[in-house]
Chains A and B, each alone.
Chain A
């Protein structure tokens, strides 16, 4: 594995290796001294063309706990806003000695271009591209589900038979796409629930079931985990595409309210990639319930990103050494 561009690129073995490594990383994070040495002297560039403080600081924490130096490059107030191209920006940062580039970009495929266009020769980690992929989000979600499912004995396990329901704006969601791909690879049984306007044409071939009816899905699928996707309020305006009539109607039909929360199996967990719109896709009651793994997902995110950085950078480093 040279880059991490899409959850769809991961084999079952690679995914489990990342999750197992993340488990090891997580254990070190309960120690008093959290910092580990493997990426000492290396530089990780966070190249963020889209505002996402959460994801950026998660990657930053992960890199720093592995002793890497971190350069944060945000498009706001930078040369990018003056029209500098992705190519020039990437080459400038590579020339400053980046050993890995973590990129968040509003254009689907931008990380793929960075990895394949021949502009730079550096491992690329996709931290979310447009409506395409967010593979570390899918990995941290799988990590969270795996822990809940297997407890302390997670090593080597997948998610075979796990029943997962993902609800919301699938059309615009890189989180949904990444999760569908990774969960299928790990053997989970996934249903996507959305209003028909928010399911992409072409999703019918995805390795999951599709539904328009949340109540029926909860009743019939009896999920082990339900994941609520963030819905942007502006999607209802005609300028935003007019995907649903009103936030209230969306919330009534697809929000995780108290009744739906109670309809879930007792052991089911409630997931959300954050940031949440309380009262729209998720009620405060659901967000704050004991079933909610929202906070746990955040800390798992650091462990998973440590694992990815470690495997991409230190993995390559040790094999280079062996080759010499």
Chain B
């Protein structure tokens, strides 16, 4: 018998308060039935003041294994995910070797199962070795034990329009989706930060908004032409929001994600040349931040995805141009969304919306059964309890990701993950990861 948990009085999606009984991997009972059906050995948790959300699902996580285990492993990354409230992460394909075969995706999937912190859904590469030239065996990855449904060359753009068309068409056979890292390569050669007033002053080569927008415009039209669905990774500009809004109005089957950092940080952060603020796509302007928040609030942007990108210390402790792109995000994502969307009165955005953009919608896009469900009797017990009123100061040394490259060091953020349950087992209790044997 696995341990069962009786959660007393948590606010479901921030609304109605209810007891929940988690037993045998599912939500076994809710409301007054929960306490009535709880066995004597059930562990009772006080949910007073806490919000219960379905376990968060990240569609964009770099776990770095295989290849860069000095930056992160499947184990350390999924443990960080659990601490951030996630019960499922999509492991990006740009590992070494690249996840472009059934063998590699099955290896990552198996490592996730063995780690036991969260469900790991490997993302398959669109092209062999991310070379942008030859389609990888997408069908083999889809048919593998890892059941891959999301395909992406993330880190690189599928730039060749013919290849992109083929990929969009091909994955229809198994209900897959291409997640595009939209970056016109010629317009971004040597680019280090958003092209605008700040890049002009700092003398850093600019990454113009048009390099993202032009690819998104092309790809939504391609998706329309071949009748495929398409997902846009880490959309970052006001123009991109407009294009996706237009595409949705036209009936194109497009979904889009925004990262937490693009909801809160701007290119002004780069002024100190601190490589912790070097990320791809780059931090944009305040007007872009306002636009992606509005886009997330009105549903143009479907989801928040972390683009958690851990890097070894030496890859950030250097001059800006030499540093790696990327920032960690699994353990700060929910707090940033709380700060920028829930707590910001400019948006009509509640905890039910958080559940939608961080759990339900990403699970649907990734075709992940058993994740992102309602907090209802009979559903798999994948959920997280958060304290919306807690405030905490980010200390890189205390985060459980294996890398220190958070852009939020020293910053106070709202909302803390108190507990996370995956398939009914507690991966996090009292904000602490649970020991391997206890899960």
Chain A residues in contact with chain B, CB under 8 A? 8, 85-87, 105-110, 112-113, 116-117, 129-133, 174, 177, 200-203, 205-206
Contacts and interface: CB of A to CB of B under 8 A. Distances in A.
B208 A174 contact: no
Interface stretch (B30-38, B317-325, B425-433): B317-325
A200 B321 CA distance: 18
Given A108-B320, A113-B320, A130-B321, A201 B206 contact: yes
Contacts of B273: 108-109, 112-113, 116
B43 interface: no
B340 interface: no
A86 B208 contact: no
B321 A203 contact: no
Nearest to B205: A131
A200 B206 contact: yes
A42 B319 CA distance: 27
Given A108-B202, A177-B201, A202 B317 contact: no
Interface in B260-308: 272-273
Given A85-B314, A110-B319, A202 B203 contact: no
A108 B321 contact: yes
Contact of B195 (A108, A133, A174, A202): A202
B197 interface: yes
Interface string B185-208: 000000000011111111111101
B317 A117 contact: yes
12 contacts: A8-B201, A85-B317, A86-B322, A87-B318, A107-B322, A109-B203, A113-B320, A131-B203, A133-B203, A177-B203, A202-B195, A205-B197
Contacts of A201: 195-196, 199-200, 206, 208
Given A85-B314, A201-B195, A202-B195, A107 B200 contact: no
B199 A107 contact: no
Given A112-B272, A113-B273, A116-B272, A202 B318 contact: no
A257 B272 CA distance: 41
A73 B423 CA distance: 60
A201 B203 CA distance: 11
B316 to A, nearest CB: 10
Contacts of A174: 203
Contacts of A105: 319
Point out which of B199, B203, B208, B318 has the most chain A C-beta atoms below 10 A from its C-beta: B203
A286 B376 CA distance: 83
A68 B324 CA distance: 38
Nearest to B195: A201
Nearest to B321: A107
Nearest to A204: B197
A68 to B, nearest CB: 26
A202 B319 contact: no
Interface string B387-424: 00000000000000000000000000000000000000
Contacts of A129: 203
A200 B199 CA distance: 9
A132 B203 contact: yes
Contact of B203 (A85, A86, A130, A205): A130
Nearest to A131: B203
Nearest to B317: A87
B266 to A, nearest CB: 14
B321 A202 contact: no
A87 B314 CA distance: 10
Contacts of B318: 85-87, 113
A93 to B, nearest CB: 16
A107 B320 CA distance: 7
Nearest to A129: B203
Interface in B221-275: 272-273
A108 B208 CA distance: 18
Contacts of B206: 200-202
B407 to A, nearest CB: 15
B204 A202 contact: no
A96 to B, nearest CB: 21
B410 to A, nearest CB: 14
A110 B202 CA distance: 11
Contacts of B205: 131
Interface string B373-390: 000000000000000000
A107 B195 contact: no
Contacts of A133: 203
A110 B274 CA distance: 10
Nearest to A170: B200
B200 A202 contact: yes
A203 B196 CA distance: 8
A107 B198 contact: no
A108 B321 CA distance: 7
Contacts of A200: 199-200, 206
Contacts of B322: 85-86, 107
Contact of A202 (B197, B272, B320): B197
Nearest to B196: A202
A105 B321 CA distance: 11
Given A109-B203, A110-B319, A202-B199, 5 more contacts: A8-B201, A105-B319, A108-B203, A112-B273, A206-B201
A205 B200 CA distance: 10
Nearest to A199: B200
A203 B203 contact: no
Which 10 pairs, one residue from A and one from B, show the smallest C-beta to C-beta distance?
A: A202-B200, A109-B273, A132-B203, A131-B203, A107-B321, A108-B203, A200-B200, A202-B197, A110-B319, A107-B319
Contacts of B208: 201
Contacts of A110: 319-321
B143 to A, nearest CB: 43
B315 to A, nearest CB: 10
